[in-house]
Amino acid sequence: MNEATNPQLVLAIVLGVLFSLGTFLVLRRDVIRVIWGVTIISQAANVYLVTMGKLGGSVPIFGHGSHGGGHITDPVVQALVLTAIVIGFGTTAFSLVLTYRVYQEHGTIDLNELGDST
């Protein structure tokens, strides 16, 4: 197979970009950027888990029985990632609401200024 069309190589590059972008955002002074960085890192971890669950393969229901012998996609990984996406959405929404409350209380979301005001 040609390396340029290898989906695992493309996903590895995308994962590297996502993890580095998330790390860059986590190291910023703005609370909103930190929250987005954590969210991007968690979504990159979800993409990594799906990649490790194998991309190609038959549907698990049809993989057994008469079609056996072929590669089957693992449905447990997909269920785990779906659960992680829902939980991640909830924690991101909660974090943004807390950030808004901090802004109302202190008038800033800069981490250095918040550290000096305590």
- pLDDT by residue for the chain (118 residues), tens only, comes to 555 567 778 888 999 999 999 999 999 988 999 999 999 999 999 989 888 876 666 666 654 555 555 667 777 888 899 999 999 999 999 999 999 998 999 888 888 888 876 5
- pLDDT for position 115: 80
The Cα-based distances of 40 to 63, 82, 89, 92 in angstroms read 33, 15, 11, 11
Which pair of tokens denotes residue 105? Answer: 């209380």
